[in-house]
Structure formats: structure tokens, C-alpha cells
Amino acid sequence: MRMKGILSRYKTLLPINPGTPLVSLGEGETPLIPLKTLGEELGLRLFAKYEGTNPTGSFKDRGMVLAVAKALEAGAKGLVCASTGNTSASAAAYAARSGLPCTVLLPKGKVASGKLAQALIHGARVVSIRGNFDEALELALALSREMGLAVVNSVNRYRLWGQRSVAWEMVDELGRSPDAVVLPVGNAGNITAGWAGFVQYRRAGKADSVPAMIGVQAEGAAPLALGKPCPAPETVATAIRIGRPVNGKKASWAVRMSGGKFLAVSDEEILGAQRRLAADEGVFAEPASCAGIAGLLRYAGQGLIPRGSTVVAILTGNGLKDPDTAAAGAGAPLEIDAEVGVLREALS
Ligand code: F0G
């Protein structure tokens, strides 16, 4: 069986040298799925880049694999991160893979159950913080300074560098850059990394343009869409429940340079987009992941993107990460006695 992963596949585009261990759980090569129904409705050639098929179920693996490889190369004693869930799941998995201890700081009660289960089963030391993500990140940075641990949040440049690979895969598959990319924004690392990936590919002569980068936040946690910090972020999309994005400045620059913008959508719109993706396209993504599609559903008709454009929505995490939110909105199953007549009756 061939399992390449990001580090082997994109060796020449990444800061890899002979001393960098080629860590891999088989990240990347995620499917680019045409969204026919939604695309027709919106008048776009629309695709989903479904990051839920990464080894731990989110896009974080693309950058985590490089961050962990570089931590090993530098002789780090361990890893630390703050997380709304996915970063911690990814860090815990790659730490386990590499034999490094890992500490993760999570905002208490605000992490989806699948993500928490992942961090725990991979053997990370999991600390629940009575505070939000922004506070947990400050603690993680302080702990890393005191204990000499490698921080694997998106303040780590290798995280963002590895995450550029999502852009490279899009261009490799489409044969060109899309006209626009829409994606959810929390700490604003991924939108910065995606933009940098397209720019790097253009410089290398592998793409002739950079798409408009359109970042979508939840209305209750929309510091970049509103242009001011959000001291008490709140949203059903817990992955992007962030009020002070550490990569905010870089992301604002990237979005401006690309001709894109930041948008905000409501929690109802996010959950509506999640249901539409699941029911009309067969694609199950976690709530935060669906913010980009929610942004298109609300703004595409208002001149956001010219009709007929090729647009990729990055679906950042697998729907199974947060089964509780999905089940709460999807209704209950029919329950019957085990008799065929009753079944026929129930289904009629
Ligand atoms: N979508 C999902 C599913 C996420 O988990 C995150 C971030 C984002 C989007 C936003 O990406 O922060 O680069 O703008 N999750 C981080 C975490 C914060 O801790 O797992 P971003």
C-alpha cells in the first residue's frame, strides 16, 4: 500500500531538509466534490474541497504533520496547543504517532464530543479551561515558554505552511486556480495559508492567478467581518468560536490582496447550509465547515461573485466530529415493533 502524505508529496514546496522526519498518517488528497444542486441554484461552477477525509477528520492534519516533523527535528520535549477541538485532535494523533507528549487546553463545555474523544484516546493530557479559546491560547503560549514545549497552534509557521497544500491540490486537480475560494474563519490561519499557497504556486509557474479569498464567520464571533474584537464570542459552530484571531492582521492583508472579503452569517444559516449539503449533496460536514456555503447562499446573489465563476468551498471538518448538533437538528428515527405489517404501515 502506498501512503504518501503531504511531506513526501510536496517536499520541494515545503521547508524540508535531510534532517526532517517524514511523518505521515496519509494526509491530504482530499476529494474535490462537484456540488451540482447548490451550484445550479447559485449559478456557479461549485465544488467542495472535503477536508473531512483527512486522518483525524479535519484540515488541521495538513499543517500539523509539518509542525510535528519540525518539532521532532528541533528536539522538542513535547507539544502544547489551545483548541476549539480539531487542532487538539490532530496534535494528539500526530504526537502519539511520533512518541511525543502532548498537552491540549480546551474551552470547557464548548468542544464537540468527537473531537474531545479523539484528544483523549490518543493519550493527550487534556485540560478543560474555564474560559474561552482566546484565553486558552494565552495559557498555551505561557506554558510553552515556561516548559520549552512546541506550540502547534497556527502561530506556528510550519502549521500554516503545511496548510498551503490545500491550494496546491485544488490547482493540480482543476488545472487552474478557482475564481474564488470560500471558507470558515476562526483564528484566521487557514485563509492566510490558502492564499499563501496560491501565491507560492503562481510564483512557481504552476498557477496563473490567485482566487478571491472569501472568509465567513459566525455572527456571534465575527471580529474580522465586523472589524473589531469580539470579547464574548458565541456560536453553534464551536470550531470558530473565537473573538481575537491571532492571524487576523495577516488574514486581512491576504483577503484584501486577493480581492476577497470577510462575511458573517447567522447560526441558523450555518445549520441550514449543513442540512442542505447533507440532504442535497450527500456531504456531511461539521457546522463551522458549512459557514462558507451559508455565505454563498446569502450573498452570491448580491454580486459577491460573478455568475458562472468556478468556486471552491473548503469544508474544513467531518460532520461526525459533532454528532450531537447534527442529531439535534435532524429529527428522531421512527420506532416500531419488529413486524412487517407495522413497518409497511409506518412507512406509508
Ligand atoms: N473550520 C474548522 C472545522 C475548524 O476547526 C477551524 C479552527 C476553522 C474552520 C477555522 O480555521 O482558525 O484557521 O481560521 N479550529 C481551530 C481549532 C481554532 O482549535 O481546532 P482558522
118 within ligand 1 shell (Cβ under 6 A): no
Cα of 250 from ligand 1 centre, angstroms:
16
Cα of 92 from ligand 1 centre, angstroms:
16
Domains of the chain: 5-58+158-329 (3.40.50.1100), 60-155 (3.40.50.1100)
186 within ligand 1 shell (Cβ under 6 A): yes
* Amino acid residing at 173: E
27, three cell numbers:
494526509
Per-residue pLDDT, 330: 86
Cα–Cα distance measured from residue 273 to residue 37, given in angstroms and rounded to the nearest whole number: 13
Cα of 189 from ligand 1 centre, angstroms:
8
Residues of the chain with pLDDT under 50: none
Per-residue pLDDT, 280: 98
Atom of ligand 1 minimally distant from the CA of 317: 3
Give bridge partners of residue 315 from the DSSP assignment: 50
Per-residue pLDDT, 1: 55
Closest C-alpha residue for ligand 1 atom 15: 239
Cα–Cα distance measured from residue 25 to residue 1, given in angstroms and rounded to the nearest whole number: 13
With cell 428522531, the residue in question is 332
300, three cell numbers:
452570491
Per-residue pLDDT, 213: 98
Cα of 289 from ligand 1 centre, angstroms:
9
With cell 462537484, the residue in question is 34
125: region left, alpha or beta (phi > 0 left; psi from -120 to 50 alpha): beta
C-alpha closest to that of 151 among 118, 104, 191: 104
Strand ranges (DSSP E) for 142-250?
150-151, 180-184, 212-218
- 3-class secondary-structure state, position 114: helix
Dihedral sign from CA coordinates of 100, 68, 50, 297: positive
DSSP 259-282: T-EEEEE-HHHHHHHHHHHHHHH-
Dihedral sign from CA coordinates of 204, 160, 321, 262: negative
Cα of 158 from ligand 1 centre, angstroms:
16
pTM greater than the 0.85 cutoff: yes
192 within ligand 1 shell (Cβ under 6 A): no
Closest C-alpha residue for ligand 1 atom 6: 239
Exposed / middle / buried, residue 139 (Cβ in 10 Å: 0-12, 13-18, 19+): middle
* Cβ(83)–Cβ(104) below 8 Å: yes
Closest C-alpha residue for ligand 1 atom 19: 83
Cα–Cα distance measured from residue 50 to residue 316, given in angstroms and rounded to the nearest whole number: 7
